[in-house]
Amino acid sequence: MYVGAHSMMFSPAFSEEDLDLLGKVDDMGFDAIEIQLNKPSKLPADLLRDKVEEVGLRPIFGVTLTEEQDLLSPDEDVRREGVRFLKDMTDVVAKCGGSVLGGVNYAAWGKFTGKMRTEEEWERSRKSLKEVARYAQNNDVNIALEPINRFETYFLNTAEDAIKLVEDIGEPNVGIHLDTFHMNIEEKDFYDPIIDVGDKLYHFHICENDRGVPGTGHVDWEGTFAALNKIGYDETVVVESFVPEIEEVATQTAIWREIAPSADAILEGALDVFNKYA
């Protein structure tokens, strides 16, 4: 099992100016870095690949879809744009030397209809993701679907939901991305959902219940890592949190107060948790 840091703790959109962040993450003792791909035009793919190889970090990538890319939309043109974007992002992942594209890649993040999801929406997302997955197989890229809490989407909230969607898509490179912040809201515990997902767990986020310093809240880290070890998870766990200093990210993720002394304090706490339980 590897441990990584999320670039959005330091930068809202990874660019050439952020390449030195890889050395910082490596010096702190991390094995990997996760980079958000919502603004790929600023991502120096060739330089990033060279840098991760030089430093020796594992690159992980995530996305969130916008309303203009919503795979649930009844508008076929909108869905096609979402499919095009995700295909392009799998190309970027491969070019940067990565193998996982996680995140909210099945629906527009933060969009609500005021109703529960429908069978029609499920089928639109399933069909779109199947097309993306088959394309991604050409790049040896895995698609990891991240169920998130009810305040950020109505479509995929639990591991059980994600398992069903993965099974309905039916492609070997589609799996699940769990996050303890969202699990703390939507799951009954941390252990059982991880066991249920099993070998379909392709990515994992470690976050405290308030997104503060891991180990200072009530997330069951012992149970979480016991489950990860039980299923033989040997991929990366990434600490994902956000701080007020990065205003654009803090606004998007509703960080309205200081939840930790600094991003470094969150990362150091995550390393302590990882080293204690992993």
pLDDT in tens, 203-232: 999 999 999 899 999 999 999 999 999 999
- At 208 the pLDDT is 96
Confidence of residue 253 (pLDDT cuts 50, 70, 90): confident
Separation CA 72–CA 113 (nearest Å): 11
- At 214 the pLDDT is 94
Q: Is the dihedral of CA 164, 169, 171, 175 positive or negative?
A: negative
Q: Report how many domains make up the chain.
A: 1
- Burial readout 261-276 (b: 16 or more C-beta within 10 A, e: otherwise): eebebbbbbbbebbee
- At 247 the pLDDT is 75
Confidence of residue 241 (pLDDT cuts 50, 70, 90): confident
pTM of the predicted model as reported, rounded to 2 decimal places: 0.94
Q: Tokens in use for 46?
A: 């060739």
Q: Is the dihedral of CA 182, 185, 191, 192 positive or negative?
A: negative
Q: Tokens in use for 261?
A: 């002394």
pLDDT tens for 142-159 read 999 999 999 999 999 999
Q: Mean pLDDT for the chain?
A: 94
Amino acid letter at 100? Answer: V
**Domain containing 266 — which CATH number?**
3.20.20.150
Q: Tokens in use for 12?
A: 């809202």
pLDDT tens for 177-208 read 999 999 999 999 999 999 999 999 999 999 99
Contact 173, 71 (CB under 8 A): no
- At 41 the pLDDT is 73
Strands (E), 38-95: 58-65
Contact 202, 177 (CB under 8 A): yes
Using alpha carbons, select from 178, 181, 227 the residue that is nearest to residue 201: 178
Q: Tokens in use for 164?
A: 């069903």
Catalytic-residue membership of 121: no
Q: Tokens in use for 10?
A: 């330091």
- At 269 the pLDDT is 95
Catalytic-residue membership of 167: no
Of these residues, 81, 121, 235, 240, which one is catalytic? 240
- Across 15-19, 93-97, 150-154, least confident range: 15-19
Separation CA 158–CA 187 (nearest Å): 7
- At 116 the pLDDT is 96
- At 249 the pLDDT is 67
Separation CA 207–CA 251 (nearest Å): 18
Of these residues, 81, 121, 146, 208, which one is catalytic? 146
Instruction: Give every CB contact of residue 153 below 8 A, 6+ residues apart in sequence.
Output: 104, 107, 109, 110, 111, 112
Domain assignment of residue 200, given as a range: 2-277
- At 245 the pLDDT is 72
pLDDT tens for 28-67 read 999 999 999 977 777 888 999 999 999 999 999 999 999 9
